Amino acid sequence: MGQALHLNDNDFDAAVAGNFAIEVDLQPSADGEAMVHHDYTLGRLTEGDTELLSMTAAQLKAAPFRDTPERMMTLGDLCERVAGRVPLVLEVKSRFDGDRRTVKRMAEVLASYRGPVAAMSFDPGQVVAIRETMPHLVRGIVAERRYADGEWKRLPPDKIREMTALRHAFRTRPHFVAYWVDDLPAPAPWIARNLFGCPLLTWTVRTPEQRARAILIGVGAATLLRIVFAGLTTQLLEIVGLLLAGGILLLWVCWKMWRELRHAAHEDPDVDSTSSVLESNGNMPRKTLAQATWQIVVADVSMSLDNVLAVAGAAREHPVVLIFGLALSIAMMGIAASFIARLLQRHRWIAYVGLAVILYIAGEMIYRGALEIWPGAS
Answer whether residue 343 is part of any domain. yes
- Same domain as 235, residue 168: no
Q: Give the separation between CA 210 and CA 205, rounded to whole angstroms.
A: 6
- Same domain as 270, residue 177: no
- Same domain as 293, residue 190: no
- CATH number where 106 lies: 3.20.20.190
Cβ count near 185 (within 10 Å): 12
**Which residues are 160's β-sheet partners?**
none
Answer whether residue 289 is part of any domain. yes
The whole-number pLDDT of residue 221 equals 59
| Mean predicted confidence (pLDDT) in 364-372 | 82
- Same domain as 97, residue 18: yes
> Does position 307 have pLDDT exceeding 60, yes or no?
no
Stronger pLDDT, 313 or 242, i.e. the higher one: 242
- Same domain as 145, residue 282: no
The whole-number pLDDT of residue 204 equals 78
The whole-number pLDDT of residue 280 equals 43
- Same domain as 171, residue 298: no
- Which of 175, 204, 233 is a domain's end point? 204
**Which residues are 16's β-sheet partners?**
none
Q: Which residue type sits at 14? A: A
Q: Give the separation between CA 173 and CA 132, rounded to whole angstroms.
A: 11
Residue ranges making up the domain that contains 329? 221-377
Q: How many domains does the chain have?
A: 2
Tell me the percentage of the chain whose pLDDT exceeds 70.
67
Answer whether residue 41 is part of any domain. yes
With beta carbons less than 8 A apart as the criterion, state whether 124 and 168 touch: yes
- Which of 174, 204, 234 is a domain's end point? 204
Answer whether residue 109 is part of any domain. yes
Answer whether residue 210 is part of any domain. no
- Same domain as 231, residue 186: no
- Same domain as 53, residue 192: yes
| Mean predicted confidence (pLDDT) in 58-70 | 89
Q: Give the separation between CA 330 and CA 303, rounded to whole angstroms.
A: 12
**φ/ψ of residue 29, rounded to 5:** -90, 180
Q: Which residue type sits at 106? A: M
- Same domain as 238, residue 185: no
- Which of 176, 204, 232 is a domain's end point? 204
Mean pLDDT, all residues of the chain = 78
- Same domain as 167, residue 104: yes
> Does position 370 have pLDDT exceeding 90, yes or no?
no
Answer whether residue 57 is part of any domain. yes
The whole-number pLDDT of residue 301 equals 47
- Same domain as 336, residue 257: yes
- Same domain as 131, residue 73: yes
| Mean predicted confidence (pLDDT) in 285-293 | 42
Task: Indicate the pLDDT class of residue 321, thresholds 50, 70 and 90.
Answer: low
